[in-house]
Amino acid sequence: MAKELERHIVSSFDRDLETVQAQIMRMGGLVEASIVDAARSLETRDEELATKVRLGDRQIDELEEQINEECIRLLAIRSPSAIDLRVVLSVMKISGNLERIGDYSKNLAKRTSVLAHMPRVEDSAGSLRRMAREVELMLRDALDAYIQRDEELARDIIERDLEIDQMYNALFREFLTFMMEDPRHITPCMHLHFIAKNLERMGDHVTSVAEQVVYLVTGSRPEDGRPKGDRTADVI
């Protein structure tokens, strides 16, 4: 009877873990879509799409709350083993990173609504869309690495964040050049710079998701010293 009860408890806990991990994937899908839509709204000056991104952030926030509440419940009543504890803690950390990425997408959409009424600055919107695309691909791979428990893919994502930093650095210098060449570009370029910085920060949070995958698989966090390519402070 005791063994049967124990098997029932383990099976119930496994179902709970599957449910909360399914919520993480749903949240990740919403965040991916928000990145894509925010970048598209910027490039096409689609204010309606930008509004959709802003309003959609509420659903992402609500999912994070649900995930955290479920994780706290699991910790309180299940007393998970070491590996299951890592899963629960990783889920909480990943949901927090996804929520922050969603916030940055919302910020990007807010800037889009302002920029829609300003003159275009060369192909800056296209450059930002390409940067957003790289961040979105990183996030997709990070979620795949989580589901597959793929440490190698997770470590590759951590290294790829350097490319996002380099793209940001290039855009930062490009915006400075535009502002120096024509004072009329100062205001739109300031908004564009904030968008680029938001994308760079998204990359950092995706990297944090990948680091959680490494922690989940190995039980230890990646070594410190990951190279950062953001050198904009050197020219300010």
Give me the CATH number covering residue 173. Answer: 1.20.58.220
List pLDDT tens digits, range 110-143: 998 888 888 888 888 889 999 999 999 999 999 9
pLDDT(18) > 90: no
Percent of the chain with pLDDT over 70: 89
**Comparing 72-76, 91-95, 150-154, 165-169, which segment has the lowest mean pLDDT?**
72-76
pLDDT band at 236 (very low <50, low <70, confident <90, very high): very low
Domain count, the chain: 1
Q: Which residue range is the domain that position 64 belongs to?
A: 2-235
Rounded to an integer, what distance in angstroms lies between the CA atom of residue 183 and that of residue 187? Answer: 8
What's the pLDDT score for residue 212?
Answer: 94
Token pair 């790829």 is found at: 160
C-alpha pair distances (Å), 103 with each of 55, 84, 160:
11, 29, 22
User: Averaged over 206-212, what is the pLDDT?
Assistant: 96
